A and B are shown apart, each in its own frame.
Chain A
């Protein structure tokens, strides 16, 4: 780095360092010491790493300069001041609903216990409340899964962690559907930043279904981190629906650890945002894990979406199946980077990874980089990626039946996306996505009629 670059880089960090001191100072004295230490470690690491640049391999194709140069502040307005009508568009019936406004828990908008679907013994609360009431449930896991040695945004989130959702599903319990809604916005015309931190612990033989929805208006920077541990034999379905505003930056990490015979499944739907990065990291830490990572991204205009996947096969007899599909229009850019790392001794690994991109315009660009690192000798690993256009023979086939050209193209786009849509088991999530597609696709009413 040149002297000027170093000066610029440290100038970019200064507001975060100053804000960190304010943030630490404003936390309740009752907070457990481990949290404060964790934050301090996060800030130290972030200060050392700085923001990433495109000379770094992990960020080669995603330039975060607009974030580095941006000016953001943590929202100060009352999270309970948001009117319930504002969440109606994203709400659906669930055993529990937690709402976060600019990263802070809104008790008024949330609805936790009391619904008949809410099982006894389960803990669903804000992370802040959990740190106060049940720190013993949090401490073994918080910050232990999502590493931040080389992940500047995880380090940054860790420096400011304090609110988000905490879910603990005890052994043998089925959670029902839990919905976490993260609403963000600019405040008095100024861009905000939030650092939601979620921790989900699914106990042995339990079942957890959780949906994270991200939505908002105006300009803001959202930097969430979610840690999930799927205990032995647990079945976890994690959905993330990203519908941020077009002016928003969304840099997120989802870190999952599976223990023996667990079934962690992740479904990532990325629709909104201006500059989006989703890191999904799975560590298969026990035998017999069946891990599924599905994703769909739809981008147009000048949207940029980067999905970075890393699957660690640490133990034998595990399966991981990844399918990420993208539909790109306009001048949109998509990056997919998928790494499957099979550790020595992880025999009988069955790993599949596939990334498929459909380009609807000449100016859209997709980069796909699937990678395998295999240190075991008795494994079945496949990977593949495609970037292509609509099949003109198929378009002609539909047109020859009387379907107009636009509708034919939309139907085939639907057909491309449908296998991910169909895998969504939570009906309101699937229906919302379908509605989004009908609205987005030209002649969507024909698609609606035909599917």
Chain B
């Protein structure tokens, strides 16, 4: 699904990612953990195509295609989805209609017919239940006046509707209380399937109690300093990031 080879990226001239290698196969869930400023969110945004992040070296293949050559909207239509750490409020644009326009752009790209209003609404109602979204949030403008938890749920709801094959969760757990976290995680888990992969970016191990990863990678100063199974997250929780931060100077091959 996703192959990242020796990825380097910079923001405003400062190199943040310093050589990332990662292979994500169909259906796998990879967690990327790391202290603040390690480059976790940069990795997510580079993959989603935010222009402020400049790739200086390396390659990213998504289903064999050069992902870095694609515009953000092309990536989305090809099946990449990023749930934002800070979802944007868009007054005057209804959550439902916006989603319908996005879905139709994606479907058109995939050679599918546009959904009619009834079909769309039926589907949307069903997906809402995954994240226990209230119907009122459908009719409101995108994220406008939503609480922090509602915004994160809305991200997962968008994901459920757009049915991407690669889902990137950028610190989706930040700012969520335990109940909201559980709802979001349940939504994500319901979307796990053998053809859908996840890259779960988080600072805390807590989320991984609910979304259990196949692999955990620890990012320190722009490099993976250790990769392992889900138990690595628990070990990290116990020992803290300082345990691995001194390994950053002499990185272990990922």
Residues in B61-103 with C-beta less than 8 Å from chain A: 71-73, 75-77, 81-82, 84, 87-88, 90-94, 97-103
- Tell me which residues across on chain A come within 8 A of B109, comparing CB atoms: 402
- Tell me which residues across on chain B come within 8 A of A415, comparing CB atoms: 90-93, 141
- Tell me which residues across on chain B come within 8 A of A412, comparing CB atoms: 90
A302: min CB distance to chain B, Å? 28
B222: min CB distance to chain A, Å? 22
A100: min CB distance to chain B, Å? 34
B48 at the interface (CB under 8 A from A): yes
- Tell me which residues across on chain B come within 8 A of A404, comparing CB atoms: 73, 105
- Tell me which residues across on chain B come within 8 A of A449, comparing CB atoms: 97, 100-101, 104
Known contacts A401-B102, A402-B109; A394 and B73 CB within 8 A of each other = no
Indicate if the CB atoms of B93 and A450 lie closer than 8 Å: yes
The docked-state distance in angstroms from the alpha carbon of A391 to that of B99 is 20
Bin chain A's interface residue count. Answer: 20 to 34
The docked-state distance in angstroms from the alpha carbon of A451 to that of B48 is 25
The docked-state distance in angstroms from the alpha carbon of A266 to that of B215 is 61
Total number of B residues with any Cβ neighbor in A under 8 Å = 35
Query: A451: which of B84, B88, B97, B105 is its contact (CB, 8 Å)?
Result: B97
A86 at the interface (CB under 8 A from B): no
A98: min CB distance to chain B, Å? 33
Max chain A Cβ within 10 angstroms of own Cβ: one of B51, B90, B103: B90
A326: min CB distance to chain B, Å? 16
Scoring B residues 36 to 76 as 1 if CB is less than 8 Å from chain A, else 0, what string do you get? Answer: 00000000000011111000000000000000000111011
B106 at the interface (CB under 8 A from A): yes
B223 at the interface (CB under 8 A from A): no
- Tell me which residues across on chain B come within 8 A of A401, comparing CB atoms: 76, 81, 98-99, 102, 158, 162
- Tell me which residues across on chain B come within 8 A of A392, comparing CB atoms: 51-52
Known contacts A396-B51, A405-B71, A449-B101; A418 and B93 CB within 8 A of each other = yes
Residue ranges of B at the interface with A (Cβ–Cβ < 8 Å):
48-52, 71-73, 75-77, 81-82, 84, 87-88, 90-94, 97-106, 109, 141, 158, 162
Q: Which 6 A-B pairs have the closest CB atoms?
A: A418-B92, A402-B76, A450-B101, A399-B72, A397-B88, A401-B102
Q: A396-B50, A419-B92 are in contact. List 11 more A-B contacts (CB 8 A).
A: A394-B90, A396-B49, A396-B72, A397-B87, A401-B99, A402-B76, A402-B162, A404-B73, A416-B92, A419-B91, A422-B92
